[in-house]
Structure 1
Amino acid sequence: MSHQAQFTALVQWLQGAITPQERFTLSYNAEASDFIRFNHAKVRQAGHVQQASVDFKLIDDGRHANLNLTLSGDGDVDRQRLSEALHQLRETLTLLPEDPYLLLNEDDWQSSNVQDQPLPDSAHVVGQIARLGEGLDLVGIYAAGQLYRGFASSNGALGWHQANSFNFDWSLFHENGQAVKANYAGHAWSDEAFARRFNLAREQLAFLGHPSHTLAPGQYRAYLAPAALEEIIGMLCWGGFSAQSLADKTSPLQRLYSGDLALNPLVSLDEQVSGSLSPAFSGEGYRRSDLSLVVDGAARDQLVGSRSAAEYGLTANGAGWGESPSALSMKGGSLALDEVLQKLGTGLYISNLWYLNFSDRSAGRMTGMTRFATFWVEDGKIKAPVSTMRFDDSVYSLLGSALEELTTERELILSASTYSQRDTSSNCLPGALIGRLTLTL
């Protein structure tokens, strides 16, 4: 039985099992994934995961409770598990008060999106990695497979989503202990594109053998590669676009949404649900569409979940838990990749950042460390690696007054999270040329 048929059968059974006054929502999550772990460019562990589960919410007169059930794939067994869950939730509801912020979607919408691009053969991918990584200390994890999401409600809403993807997250280590971290992900594998990405990492690895260049604290020109920019954007997603955070004045982009400050006109950020790995519906049963979060440096749309909509009189737009973007897309600029070093001139080429946190959340100021392949560039040429440094700067400078250019080419960065299941979140980002980045130590 296919995943969609399995889900449909459970929905049909549940429709006939509830009483007239009861209502339900049922969210389906499944995957069929290959996981391959590499060390010294050789396969050290390989496995295949097939799993499916449902999140079942029962609602009765403003009270609600939910259970997560692992499915076996056997229709009879899974219906029995759902029946037992229904009984348990009915008993639980009698103990609960009404929820004042429960806001159910009454629409009986229908949505279906099946992205069935053929995935690369895992044996072929292993061969390409082994060939390019021969003789190198390569460590990494390759994950690929089908992801399935479904939603149904007692009101007749029904959504189905299937997406195929691969994600190779790896590092090349130098004998001195330094490393270059890289990633290649997407929907359709290209040997040529992978080779280009791999060769760039290999070129950077060679520079790690040079003596380190020591920098004093201060302000420096810098180029942030897409992976480094993702860390900064990721911090902004911690409540930055959330209706809840904006309403209680804790958003790091509070001053942007109030209109007191603006980002550089080069900056446009969308929640690009269409064509992404993320489903066009939420686990709460609201349809999701593309949103313009920042347009030409100015704030526009917010991410609104149902509870925020109920509490603040807003219209829910399908935002999930935490009201964070799950398919963020940043508009590219005019800077060609092969011109990055020339345009940087003298300054820092930063491949990765890590350990970020807010140093002043209300001001959009954050701090963090450079990581892995960070290089000192002079007159458009890489001269030496730079020891780990700490930065502390405001987003209104990094993506505002100090931002000079964005690259034309963007990189699709898929979430590498596999806690409980593979994540469907993604970011599509350019690189950023920054006129001044503040290093504190």
Structure 2
Amino acid sequence: MNQEYFQKLAERLFTRLEGEEILFCSLGGETSDFVRLTRNRIRQAGNVHSAALGLTLISGARQAEGSCDLAGESGPDLLRAIRLLQALRKRIGHVPEDPYLNYSTEPSESQRRVEAELPPVEEALAELIGAAEGLDLVGIWASGEIQEGLSSSIGHRHWHQSNSFNLDWSCYLESDKALKSGYGGFRWDSSVLRSKLGAMRDALHVMAQPAVTIAPGRYRAYLAPAAVQELMEMLAWGGFDLKNHRTQQTPLLKLIRGERHLDPRICIREESSRGLAPAFTAEGFLQPDSVALIEQGRHAECLVDARSAKEYGESVNAAGASPESLALDAGDLSLADVPARLDTGLYIGNLWYCNWSDANDCRVTGMTRFGTFWIEKGEVQGPVKVMRFDDSLYHVLGDRLEALTRDRELILSADTYDGRSTSSALLPGLLVSGIDLAL
């Protein structure tokens, strides 16, 4: 599916509008390679070509939405789209007026094409299998092109096309012992893959040792970027959108009121300029390259989607209530210096099953599970048995924060439920003077 095909299809639909009707046409498509691996061997490989047309018909203060699949054949696709338009026209008279209906009334255009430097899938997977020889590796590879388009009878013409890869995998040792890792982005680098797998081999060797049992309490800790991502996802759950702020349901309510603050080094942004997610919304609004959500430890701006903008009289700066391209600023801690700076405490590679234990105090609970090690005087002693943490992010990102790493990791979402996700996060690791383990 390409831009020209989509625009021509949309233009034909616009000629069939009646009276004062307004139509927004959206396209979501992908051409993706998917490969599943178990025991470091390819078990399933396939290629997906998909495209779906979304229509939003607007009449006065009413709207009706629907979608249909596209086959890439102009005649059948047009017939399918016309039938959908007719169905929406029949439906719209029976829906109530929408008080928060909001769409851009100014014509606008944009194009963005993000290319990737990738070897053929066969070569990349051959490198992976060779570098992981002897490991019980299970994972999924996803790569290829994602297309998103928007066209309206008002005059919006937007196109986004990005090419990327994402390798999400785990290495199993025995019983409940395993490690998880990932590698994704726009540029394939064999040395990065080998480095990650080498670190995994070393960690699996340590994991084979008897597990260290520690009592509940507060411990110094280093949280790797994958663990930080879990905390950022909790913040994204109502932490940044305007509606939750105005209804005082945000877990960052005390931060907004000025009662609490984070460390001044904590700067969190939504960066649509990164290129994986489109820079326009389904309602035709353009998003800024960057939105400062938390600046120097204090609340800065909210994410404002079209409906919240209408309800609260603000300007649109986001496609939805949660970040799609979140970034946490880097610090000055070298990765090589992490064990020495940690000295004695926990190295936490991942966090699992996170949830709010007290959202009013921004308190999160979850499990350490895989990839957590006990460090003593800068040396790894062994894996730590599964523990539950329960602590406030006002501490972890605030008064107990000691350092952020200089290097950041780009973590792409592995979600494929409704097509390959375009969400991503660019995150450093965190060194904290203490994290509370409850049991």
Q: Would you say same fold, with TM above 0.5?
A: yes
In the TM superposition, 1:128-277 aligns within 5 A as 128-277=127-276
Native 8 Å contact 2:128 2:193 kept in 1: no
SS in 2 for 1:80: helix
Match of 1:389 among 383, 387, 390: 387
Native 8 Å contact 1:285 1:318 kept in 2: no
Task: Confirm whether residue 349 of structure 1 aligns to residue 347 of structure 2.
Answer: yes
Native 8 Å contact 1:336 1:408 kept in 2: yes
The answer to which of 168-177 and 121-130 deviates more is 168-177
Native 8 Å contact 1:37 1:44 kept in 2: yes
Alignment deviations for residues 303-332 of structure 1 (CA, whole Å, 9 cap, x no partner): 001111111111111332xx1000001110
The answer to which of 431-440 and 190-199 deviates more is 190-199
Native 8 Å contact 2:115 2:164 kept in 1: no
Residue 313 of structure 1: aligned partner? 313
Residue 408 of structure 1: aligned partner? 406
SS in 1 for 2:292: strand
SS in 1 for 2:274: coil
Structure 2 unaligned blocks of 5 or more: none
SS in 1 for 2:232: helix
Alignment deviations for residues 321-350 of structure 1 (CA, whole Å, 9 cap, x no partner): xx1000001110000001111100000000
Residue 325 of structure 1: aligned partner? 323
SS in 2 for 1:17: coil
- Give the counterpart letter for 2:35 in structure 1: I
Residue 100 of structure 1: aligned partner? 99
The answer to which of 31-40 and 253-262 deviates more is 253-262
Residue 111 of structure 1: aligned partner? 110
Residue 28 of structure 1: aligned partner? 27
The Cα shift of 1:409 comes to 0.3
Alignment deviations for residues 24-43 of structure 1 (CA, whole Å, 9 cap, x no partner): 11111000111111111111
Native 8 Å contact 2:26 2:54 kept in 1: yes
Native 8 Å contact 2:287 2:316 kept in 1: no
TM-score by length of 1: 0.98
In the TM superposition, 1:56-135 aligns within 5 A as 56-135=55-134
Residue 434 of structure 2: aligned partner? 436
The Cα shift of 1:118 comes to 3.6
Residue 291 of structure 2: aligned partner? 291
Native 8 Å contact 2:114 2:275 kept in 1: no
Native 8 Å contact 2:115 2:186 kept in 1: no
For the residues of structure 2 that align with 1:152 and 1:301, how far apart are their CA atoms?
29
The Cα shift of 1:298 comes to 1.1
The Cα shift of 1:284 comes to 2.2
For the residues of structure 1 that align with 2:257 and 2:413, how far apart are their CA atoms?
30
- Give the counterpart letter for 1:371 in structure 2: R
Native 8 Å contact 1:120 1:188 kept in 2: no
- Quote the sequence identity (%): 42
Residue 425 of structure 2: aligned partner? 427
For the residues of structure 2 that align with 1:271 and 1:384, how far apart are their CA atoms?
37
TM-score by length of 2: 0.98
The Cα shift of 1:176 comes to 4.1
Native 8 Å contact 1:351 1:371 kept in 2: no
For the residues of structure 2 that align with 1:96 and 1:273, how far apart are their CA atoms?
34
SS in 1 for 2:213: coil
SS in 2 for 1:434: strand
For the residues of structure 2 that align with 1:394 and 1:275, how far apart are their CA atoms?
30
For the residues of structure 2 that align with 1:152 and 1:363, how far apart are their CA atoms?
43
Alignment deviations for residues 32-71 of structure 1 (CA, whole Å, 9 cap, x no partner): 1111111111111101111000211000011101001111
For the residues of structure 2 that align with 1:408 and 1:247, how far apart are their CA atoms?
35
For the residues of structure 1 that align with 2:128 and 2:137, how far apart are their CA atoms?
9
Residue 356 of structure 2: aligned partner? 358
- Give the counterpart letter for 2:42 in structure 1: V
Kindly tell me the number of residue pairs found equivalent between the two proteins.
438
SS in 1 for 2:272: coil
For the residues of structure 1 that align with 2:92 and 2:122, how far apart are their CA atoms?
50
Q: Where has structure 1 moved over 4 Å in runs of 4 or more?
A: none
The answer to which of 5-14 and 420-429 deviates more is 5-14
The answer to which of 24-33 and 249-258 deviates more is 249-258
In the TM superposition, 1:5-16 aligns within 5 A as 5-16=4-15
Alignment deviations for residues 336-388 of structure 1 (CA, whole Å, 9 cap, x no partner): 00111110000000000010000111211110000211000000011010011
The Cα shift of 1:175 comes to 3.0
Residue 39 of structure 1: aligned partner? 38
Native 8 Å contact 2:306 2:316 kept in 1: yes
Change (3 A) 1:118 1:77: farther
How large is the Cα RMSD of the aligned pairs?
1.0
SS in 2 for 1:368: strand
For the residues of structure 2 that align with 1:49 and 1:9, how far apart are their CA atoms?
24
Native 8 Å contact 1:119 1:164 kept in 2: no
Native 8 Å contact 2:62 2:92 kept in 1: yes
Match of 1:335 among 333, 337, 341: 333
Task: Confirm whether residue 374 of structure 1 aligns to residue 372 of structure 2.
Answer: yes
Alignment deviations for residues 378-416 of structure 1 (CA, whole Å, 9 cap, x no partner): 000110100110000001001000110000000000000
Residue 418 of structure 1: aligned partner? 416
For the residues of structure 1 that align with 2:267 and 2:32, how far apart are their CA atoms?
34
SS in 1 for 2:398: helix
Alignment deviations for residues 264-290 of structure 1 (CA, whole Å, 9 cap, x no partner): 011111111113301010122211111
SS in 2 for 1:249: coil
The answer to which of 217-226 and 174-183 deviates more is 174-183
Native 8 Å contact 1:217 1:439 kept in 2: yes
Native 8 Å contact 2:211 2:383 kept in 1: yes
